Amino acid sequence: MNEEDLSKGRRIVELGDEIEQLPGFKLQQEFFGLDLTRYIFERNFADLSNVITFITTDPRGASLIAVKNRKKREAFGFEVIRGIYNYTAAAVSLVEHTMNLYDRLYGENNLFPEYHERVSRDFSKPFLMFIKELRHYCQHIKSPIITFITTDGSNGRLVTRICIPLSDLQKYGVWKADAKRFLATIQERLDVMEVLGDFHNKEVAFQNWFRTRQEEIHADELKELDNKKDELRELMGDSYIPPA
């Protein structure tokens, strides 16, 4: 190996070490951790949405209301309950992961002052507290009872909704005050997709905004990281693997 190759090898090692010490690299690690939590959140919602969509809109799902298909209906009901359980857990994990990340990066500075205002704007305290309490209810109290509510639609076709009876939720007597305020807005039954779908859309929009703002706030650190990676990529050619 000639001196040029040795020098190139040393520089590659140096760049790897330099990259791992950069503020942008540490930020990227934080971003990746939140991305993983969001992926779990998104996948759990997709699983829940898919099974509810099958039951409520797929022609094959319409047959579940027949008495002879009671066992099948029960099996799909179990899948919905599993989906609620997993989704609420993932939702609260994402909310708390985001809050903790904000506290670590911005809690002692004024780099991101609009964060709390945006949280208050997008999520009413009763709604957010209900989601957190529903997660606790599902994981630590009992699996929710669900009902298949089928009615005549405006086009003459049957319309099915998956609901949790309000009376079942009210049996849990220790809902926190804000969660109770949310439950007071529900009449007779909670439509699972209406409530969880609303939360999901709000959280996705919030997460998109949160990441965009982070990239704006840390543009210089991330640019420095990209420059170092470009230098390393140029030295390594086809054998380049981005640092984790």
3-state secondary structure (DSSP) of residue 127: helix
Q: Is residue 2 part of a domain?
A: no
Average of per-residue pLDDT across 129-151: 92
Can you list the positions of beta strands (E) in 166-223? 189-191
Q: Which helix (H) or strand (E) segment is 223 a member of? A: helix 219-236
Amino acid residing at 145: I
Q: Is residue 37 part of a domain?
A: yes
Phi and psi at residue 142, in whole multiples of 5°?
A: -170, 160
Cβ partners under 8 Å of residue 141, min gap 6 = 172
Q: Is residue 173 part of a domain?
A: yes
- The residue with tokens 């529903």 is 134
Structural domains of the chain, count: 1
Q: Is residue 243 part of a domain?
A: no
The pLDDT tens digits of the residues spanning 30-66 come to: 999 999 999 999 999 999 999 999 888 877 766 666 6
Q: Per-residue pLDDT for 239 more than 80?
A: no
Put simply, whether the predicted model's pTM sits higher than 0.95 gets the answer no
3-state secondary structure (DSSP) of residue 201: helix
- Partnered with residue 161 across adjacent β-strands are 149
Q: Per-residue pLDDT for 147 more than 70?
A: yes
The pLDDT tens digits of the residues spanning 166-207 come to: 999 998 888 999 999 999 999 999 999 999 999 999 999 999
Q: Is residue 196 part of a domain?
A: yes
Exposure of 40 in the CB half-sphere (CA atoms within 13 A)? 16
Q: Is residue 76 part of a domain?
A: yes
Expressed as residue numbers, the domain containing 152 is 10-236
Q: Is residue 98 part of a domain?
A: yes
3-state secondary structure (DSSP) of residue 152: strand
